[in-house]
Amino acid sequence: EPEVTQTPSHQVTQMGQEVILRCVPISNHLYFYWYRQILGQKVEFLVSFYNNEISEKSEIFDDQFSVERPDGSNFTLKIRSTKLEDSAMYFCASKGRPNEKLFFGSGTQLSVL
């Protein structure tokens, strides 16, 4: 089965630093998402991206967050100035059409010290 790949698997950073989380969605997919999961809690929606623009974002996705699809394969999440509370597992996801199955990547565990 095709997979969404994410790098790195773990990222440790100092508070205030910028981080970029990288994702390669499944090749023929058009809809891309970032979710996060704080340890032991639910999976929270951050942002959806389609046709090279953000289609929906949550309250969590403030001005410190941005997404980009710099080329035909990568989809990145940037956190400009990390805070302690940004520590979480970040999942990238993609799907081919609106009502289709959402495929999740294996996640990036972000630790902000």
Task: Tell me how far, at minimum, the Cβ of 62 lies from other proteins, in Å.
Answer: 16
DSSP-assigned letters across all residues of the chain: ----EEE-SEEEE-TT--EEEEEE--TT--EEEEEEE-TTS--EEEEEEETTEEEEE-TT--TTEEEE--SSS-EEEEESS--GGG-EEEEEEEESSTTSPPEE---EEEEE-
Closer CB to other proteins, 93 or 112, in the complex: 93
Q: Which residues bind other proteins (CB under 8 A)?
A: 31, 33, 41-45, 48, 50, 55-56, 58, 91, 98-99, 101-102, 104-107
Task: Tell me how far, at minimum, the Cβ of 65 lies from other proteins, in Å.
Answer: 15
Closer CB to other proteins, 13 or 30, in the complex: 30
